[in-house]
A and B are shown apart, each in its own frame.
Chain A
Amino acid sequence: MKTSTFSTRWLVAYFLVLLVMSATAAAAEPKIPRLRSGKPDFSGIWQTTSAADYDLEPHAARKDAPPGLGIVEGNTIPYLPAALEQKKKNFEARQTDDPRLKCWTLGTPRGIYYPEPFQIFQRDRDLTIVFQFGQSVRTIHTNGTLHPEVIDNEFYLGDSRARWEGDTLLVDVKDFNDETWLDRAGNFHSTALNVVERWKLLDANTIEYKSTLEDPQVYSKPWSISVILQRHREKNFQLIEDYCYTLDYDSYYPVPVKR
């Protein structure tokens, strides 16, 4: 009886030491999910809690937007003078001209911080992002392929080619059209846009997403944004298709059932 109590105490002490050790290790090197290949595994359903889509720049509350500290490094987007005038016009017309209102593909990077979830599916050769909004699909190639030789400015989401820099996924995105806005406040870009993204898992359930936007036709210098994405961990959480562009006509369907 006495022996048993003694060994139980030792056992408890042993596990306490183990617990402290593993906690220390975890603090030093957060455990992140990995593919069999060893690369970080971004698979999952993600969403920002920020107000970035309402306005990338810092803004107080207004009727059409909750307040936000902004996600632009240095707070202000460095527009060229003519582009700044266009941005102001866009802002005034934002209740009607935002392409989001037509449910068009949101673009890159807007889809990432839009307030609806997206799901990442990952293989060694690529990452596939399915956005709940419009169910648009973006492929980020990680198979060593290059941008197309002919750039014809036709893509809403751009053409994404990526490589790994340690555990950070570095994505070069170009070949954009100029149909998308960056947020609901009318921030915009031209077909010359080049987005360089940095995706990093801070821990198993958090992605740090940073990107730098360069567009010599619109901005006086490159500028950067940074946003945190949270993993959806609700039980049985899933994307629900949001083909919102059908909402204007879907009342004409289906054929009414006659009983």
Chain B
Amino acid sequence: MKALILGLAVVAFSATATAQGARWETTVRKIESGPWQGARLEDDQPDIQGNWSNTIANHNNFTDPQGAIPGDPSARTRKEKPRDQRAPSRVSSTADGQVPFQPWARDAQQDLQAHLFDPTQPQYIEPLARCAPAGVPKSFMWHGWEIRQYPGYVLFLFDSGTRIIHLDGSPHPSDAIKLWNADSRGHWEGNTLVVDVANNNGKARFARTGEFDSENAKIVERYVFDNDGQHFNYVATITDPTVYTEPWTTTIPARRYSEKDAPDEWHFDVSAANRPGKPLLYENHERICVENNGPFGQVAVTSRK
């Protein structure tokens, strides 16, 4: 019971924090795949290192990113704009902007959505509220993240979870291994990082509106970087014949954050490095979650000795 209450409290808190700290755009920039004309690293990868965050909304609502969460009991402080003035659905491949769920899966998603604020069963608690990794693709809708690159690797350091993208052509591990953040094998095609995602445990949800996949999902991600070095679109095609009627594609736009931007607690949660006499340099600090959240009645921090 205590766990359920804590889960709710986290949901409510996060929604408030987002409303305060957000700077959102209402359109999605078009970025074509093609040659990369920007800087490159020693191993010839396009240099896309640094801090990034998505430009339209957090994970409150997957298909109406700037709309309310259906059934949200908290009073909205701002008047909602008409639908055509809000950002488009993150489902970019279907005419109606909806996930092409099979009927049973649509019912399940509606049930999860209806119980977000009334989690009478443990499965109604959005796993991210328990500090589970945000997973694929939600990590790109949840706070800013940092990309670091190395010969053979792209490393994503998310607010909740870490992804190691292997670029060396090695195979996915056995299908018996299922993971919150799945297993990622990628390669560069010009300005586009193409990542094959397998070993997904299907446990992370896409949003507070309850969209989901299963452990049968195969995902191909295309990170299409603008040659201005300041933007990319995350374009992922999800194939899961056990949940959907057809493969579908989600698009999540993102932009770079750098020393030109003011830090904020949502997109760009950094602080200035201590280096007297030298130009401003922002750095990220240690990320923890479970230690300060405490599912199942754990206290946040043990009493001081």
Question: B51 → chain A, closest Cβ, in Å?
Answer: 13
A93 at interface by CB-CB < 8 Å: no
Question: B93 → chain A, closest Cβ, in Å?
Answer: 22
Tell whether A246 pairs with B161 under 8 Å between CB atoms, given A155-B286, A179-B291.
no
A144 touching B275, Cβ below 8 Å: yes
A137 touching B180, Cβ below 8 Å: no
B214 touching A254, Cβ below 8 Å: yes
B288 touching A254, Cβ below 8 Å: no
Question: A155 → chain B, closest Cβ, in Å?
Answer: 5
- A17-25, A97-105, A207-215: which lies at the B interface? A97-105
B155 touching A246, Cβ below 8 Å: no
Query: Which of B104, B148, B286 touches A138 (beta carbons < 8 Å)?
Result: B286
Central interface residue in B148, B216, B271, by most chain A CB within 10 Å = B148
B131 touching A245, Cβ below 8 Å: yes
- Among A154-211, those with CB < 8 Å from B are 155-157, 177-179, 190
Which residues on B sit within 8 Å (CB–CB) of A141?
Answer: 273, 283
- Among B118-159, those with CB < 8 Å from A are 121-123, 125, 127, 130-133, 148, 150, 153, 155, 157
A255 at interface by CB-CB < 8 Å: yes
Which residues on B sit within 8 Å (CB–CB) of A38?
Answer: none
Q: How far apart sit A43 and B273, CA to CA, in the bound complex (Å)?
A: 24
Q: How far apart sit A150 and B202, CA to CA, in the bound complex (Å)?
A: 42
Interface residues of A toward B: which range?
35 or more
**Nearest B residue (CB) for A146:** B274
Q: How far apart sit A254 and B204, CA to CA, in the bound complex (Å)?
A: 7
**Nearest A residue (CB) for B289:** A245
**Nearest A residue (CB) for B272:** A148
B274 touching A102, Cβ below 8 Å: no
Q: How far apart sit A86 and B295, CA to CA, in the bound complex (Å)?
A: 27
Question: A148 → chain B, closest Cβ, in Å?
Answer: 5
Which residues on B sit within 8 Å (CB–CB) of A155?
Answer: 285-286
A178 touching B212, Cβ below 8 Å: no
Q: Mark B263-280, 1 if CB is under 8 A from A, else 0.
A: 000000001011110000
**Nearest B residue (CB) for A148:** B274
B148 touching A128, Cβ below 8 Å: yes
Query: Which of A123, A143, A255 touches B112 (beta carbons < 8 Å)?
Result: A255
A122 at interface by CB-CB < 8 Å: yes
B275 touching A257, Cβ below 8 Å: no
**Residue positions of A touching B, CB distance < 8 A:** 36, 43, 86, 102-105, 119, 121-123, 128, 130, 134-139, 141, 143-149, 155-157, 177-179, 190, 236, 238-241, 243, 245-246, 248-250, 252-255, 257-259
